[in-house]
Amino acid sequence: MTQLTLNLVQGPVSFNFSPEVAQTLKEKIDELMVDLKGLSNSLT
């Protein structure tokens, strides 16, 4: 299992993922980051 911990204002929250799901999540987060950088660049 792969663990993801989010540190929120109210305290940390942890999620456990299988390696396959963790890889898919990483790929989707990478895509989101590229999209956000593109949006940021188009606004400046």
pTM of this structure: 0.68
**Cβ count near 29 (within 10 Å):** 11
Domain range spanning residue 29? 2-43
DSSP code at position 6: E
- How many angstroms separate the Cα of 32 from the Cα of each of 9, 35, 36, 37, 39? 23, 5, 6, 9, 10
**pLDDT at 30 (0 to 100):** 95
Q: How many domains does the chain have?
A: 1
| Secondary structure element (H or E) that encloses residue 11, with its range | strand 11-17
Q: Give per-residue pLDDT as tens, 1-43.
A: 889 999 999 999 999 999 999 999 999 999 999 999 998 888 8
Among 37, 15, 41, 39, smallest CA distance to 1 is for 15
